[in-house]
Structure 1
Amino acid sequence: MRIGLAGWILGFGPSGVGRRLEALAEAGVLGGAEILLFTPPGGPPFPSLPGVETIPVPIPHTPTWKRSFLEARLLPSLVRRHGLDLLHLPTAPVPSLPIPATTSIHGLQDFTPWARPGRRLPAPLLWRWGLRKARLLLAVSASVLSELRERLPGLEKKTRVVPTGIPERFFREEPQGPPPFGLAPGYLLHLGRPLPHKNLDLLLSAYRILLSRRPGVPPLVLAGVSPRGEGKLLEEKISGMGLEKKALWIGPVQGDTLLRLLRGAGLAIFPSLYEGQGLAPLEALAAGTPVIASDIPAHREFLGETVPLFDPRDPEALAELARESLGDRSGADRGRERARSMDTRAMAGPLLDAWREAAGGG
């Protein structure tokens, strides 16, 4: 099978959508498919993957109207020229195409209380409209499928669960070296875009409690993409809480820098109120980093009993668990095993089954 991946939607750098595309490409090759990754002009660097052909296309990520116009104009000839059996888009809307298309459902954040009203109120109509032309929907978790069944009944009939696998690079010992940005090893780490559902207010409150109870607590490092200035707001919040000398926002990280950042952490903390899957905790486990996470459906589904969970609305509980877990690498091997069970090799079978079904190959 020749599968095209719509990488021109990679507009926010090292995001969860980008991680999903990397995993799709790697798992697709492992499953025996020919993978063509279409990238935008001047887009962010994408990891070089054996067996993946990268093809630049003149379709920008933004503005949305321009992207949609150029998709409608260019895609029919593009998919024919490259002899594709199927095109996978990382997000909706799915345009009209002369071949089958699939898309990923990363989560239903637009339906949550943390979504902006401008996204939450029209979400039922916009989602149905945007997904109507997809042959199959690939949900990243069983919990997302359950939400889809509740929020958009009927769409579950054309949905298959294909969790995002952890790419092989997270399991390698390379690159060696100290943590980036001059950080001393042993810091607390959070990875994720600073949006309301990531629950960073609680994390900062818990960190302040931890500082008052444990002398010599290492810095809290926060990393993630910030396309709409969320990082600046987070820095203002850190300063307003008097934590500017202990908590550090470093922005987006990727590639070898991300791997060194993960391996240098004494504890990775994920306090989200909502996740579709939650890749970052699994990536941290793959890197051998101790992890604690919030007790939400996605974390229960993917982390199981491997990772201690806490009430995401209780800063005292988080502070105490962080105090107990900081620097404790006794569960590192078990964490790696958990992550390995969800790598791109594990993803390849369900992914290729779904793509064959969508393409009509049985």
Structure 2
Amino acid sequence: MPLRIAVDLVFYTGRKGGTESYARGLFPVLAAAHDDFRFVGIGNRELAEQPPEWFPGEIVPLPVSGENRAAWAAAVALAVGPRARSLGADLLHCPSNFGPAVRLLPTVVTVHDILGTRHPEWVQGRLARGVQALTKATVRAADRIITDSQASADDVHELLGRPMADIDVIHLGVKPVDVLARSGERAGRPYVLAGGNRMRHKNFDGLLEAWALIPAAERPKLVITGSHGDDPLRPVVERLGLGGDVELREWVSADELAALYDGASAYAFPTLFEGFGLPVLEAMARGCPVIGSDIPVLHEVGGDDMAYFDPRDPAAIATAVRKVVGDPDAQAAMAAAGRKRAETFTWQRTADATAEVYRSMARTTARTR
């Protein structure tokens, strides 16, 4: 009989970035490539009204909004497990960091990162304590943990005490993209693309300080996407006198983002902490050279095919940007190498490894009955 797998989708709104990219990339491929699984999603009010086309199964909603972080986190901790059991699921997969506080059925949780535990100073106010408590309960209760990187696995082991034998490191994937090879100068004023939420660890303040250090005559435009509402970076841009050099954009569509990648001289990723760094692969897949932080997790993703800088040193960031943006030949070489590297990170590989986790858990459950 096929395994019936319940998937927590209470968090999903379509506007949360990497965790949602993971869900959209993983589950369609899992269902298409492995016919021994049947999926049911446990969703929120928004998904009940508009079920996502990419999910390979029925959506059974809980009466909470995915826009309310406290509500959906509480639902994951307390309600998703009972609902999965009532649906007759053989296994529950929670793909967005958090899972049930109490195990009611075999459960695997994908822990993309434990930012709130490693760096609670970067999580706002009382939210930090809640995130820490739920992360600890999640990791304790789950049968298995999937992490996107060895760096995240090391954090889960070191800070939360979960044995490495209980953790499966499964890198994320990226869809292959047909784009023209880059060559020569790009038309118009060159620009560098960056994107992400405005949490402190994304280090956009440091990137803007670096921009102010680039001589005006050779300063490229900087386009930063991903804000919601009033952008907290706007006062920083004004203070640094960069109003004519920086464009702050809200959340952009997939098509808009693709066009921005295609036109950019480089993608800048000045992060101080990540669980993986999916934007690095997304940029590489589109042939956009990547300039990013010299931190261990990005070496897992970018290898030798991106340029690195010290993210805490604006002068070092400025130097790296000037070097890449000022050298079209280097851009073309980095673009070609990056595309080749991105081709090795496929959702098929991610899905196959995840399927083996499911089957291993099923075998373990069968032996203990």
Cα offset, 1:161, TM superposition: 0.9
CA 1:333–1:46 in 2, change beyond 3 Å: closer, same or farther? farther
1:178-189 pair list within 5 angstroms = 186-189=190-193
Preserved CA contact (<8 Å) 1:141 1:298: yes
Preserved CA contact (<8 Å) 1:30 1:348: no
Find 1:329's aligned residue among 324, 329, 332.
332
TM-score with structure 1 setting the length: 0.84
Deviation by residue 1:35-92 (Cα, 9 ceiling, x = unmatched): 444442225988743x7235251342226347635974575355544x5332211231
Find 1:23's aligned residue among 19, 25, 28.
25
d(CA) in 1 for partners of 2:153 and 2:347?
Answer: 20
Deviation by residue 1:115-169 (Cα, 9 ceiling, x = unmatched): 3464556766543223333221111100111112211123534221112222x2x
CA 1:94–1:155 in 2, change beyond 3 Å: closer, same or farther? farther
Question: In the alignment, which residue of structure 1 is the partner of 2:244?
Answer: 245
Local SS of the residue matching 1:313: coil
Preserved CA contact (<8 Å) 2:283 2:290: yes
d(CA) in 2 for partners of 1:277 and 1:304?
Answer: 13
Local SS of the residue matching 1:25: helix
Preserved CA contact (<8 Å) 1:87 1:102: yes
Stretch moving more, 282-291 or 58-67: 58-67
Question: In the alignment, which residue of structure 2 is the partner of 1:206?
Answer: 210
Which ranges of structure 1 fall in alignment gaps of 5 or more residues? 175-182
d(CA) in 2 for partners of 1:190 and 1:8?
Answer: 28
d(CA) in 2 for partners of 1:260 and 1:47?
Answer: 24
1:127 aligns with 2:129: no
Preserved CA contact (<8 Å) 1:28 1:34: no
- Alignment-mate amino acid for residue 88 of structure 1: H
Preserved CA contact (<8 Å) 1:85 1:100: yes
Preserved CA contact (<8 Å) 2:77 2:98: no
Question: In the alignment, which residue of structure 2 is the partner of 1:60?
Answer: 65
d(CA) in 1 for partners of 2:158 and 2:140?
Answer: 17
Local SS of the residue matching 1:306: coil
Find 1:88's aligned residue among 77, 84, 93.
93
Preserved CA contact (<8 Å) 1:171 1:287: yes
TM-score with structure 2 setting the length: 0.82
Preserved CA contact (<8 Å) 1:27 1:351: no
Preserved CA contact (<8 Å) 2:65 2:71: no
CA 1:103–1:254 in 2, change beyond 3 Å: closer, same or farther? farther
Deviation by residue 1:308-327 (Cα, 9 ceiling, x = unmatched): 11111221221121112125
1:69-88 pair list within 5 angstroms = 72=78, 76-77=82-83, 80-81=86-87, 83-88=88-93
Question: In the alignment, which residue of structure 2 is the partner of 1:179?
Answer: none
| Structure 1 moving runs of 4+ over 6 Å | 44-47
d(CA) in 1 for partners of 2:152 and 2:83?
Answer: 34
Question: In the alignment, which residue of structure 2 is the partner of 1:171?
Answer: 177
Deviation by residue 1:243-267 (Cα, 9 ceiling, x = unmatched): 1221111111232222222222121
Question: In the alignment, which residue of structure 2 is the partner of 1:2?
Answer: 4
Question: In the alignment, which residue of structure 1 is the partner of 2:264?
Answer: 265
d(CA) in 2 for partners of 1:121 and 1:69?
Answer: 17
Question: In the alignment, which residue of structure 2 is the partner of 1:357?
Answer: 360
d(CA) in 1 for partners of 2:132 and 2:111?
Answer: 14
Identity among equivalent positions (%) equals 25
CA 1:329–1:54 in 2, change beyond 3 Å: closer, same or farther? farther
- Alignment-mate amino acid for residue 109 of structure 2: T
d(CA) in 2 for partners of 1:312 and 1:70?
Answer: 34
Question: In the alignment, which residue of structure 2 is the partner of 1:178?
Answer: none
Preserved CA contact (<8 Å) 1:94 1:103: no
CA 1:36–1:157 in 2, change beyond 3 Å: closer, same or farther? same
Which ranges of structure 2 fall in alignment gaps of 5 or more residues? 181-186
1:196 aligns with 2:195: no
1:142-157 pair list within 5 angstroms = 142-157=150-165
Cα offset, 1:356, TM superposition: 1.7
d(CA) in 1 for partners of 2:75 and 2:195?
Answer: 34
Local SS of the residue matching 2:93: strand
Structure with more contact order per residue of length (Cα contacts < 8 Å, sep ≥ 6): 1
CA 1:203–1:131 in 2, change beyond 3 Å: closer, same or farther? same
Stretch moving more, 90-99 or 67-76: 67-76
Deviation by residue 1:259-297 (Cα, 9 ceiling, x = unmatched): 222222121000111111111111100111111111001
1:42 aligns with 2:41: no
Preserved CA contact (<8 Å) 2:81 2:100: no
Deviation by residue 1:330-358 (Cα, 9 ceiling, x = unmatched): 22222112111111012122211112223
d(CA) in 2 for partners of 1:187 and 1:70?
Answer: 41
Local SS of the residue matching 1:107: coil
d(CA) in 2 for partners of 1:76 and 1:266?
Answer: 50
RMSD: 3.0
Question: In the alignment, which residue of structure 2 is the partner of 1:220?
Answer: 222
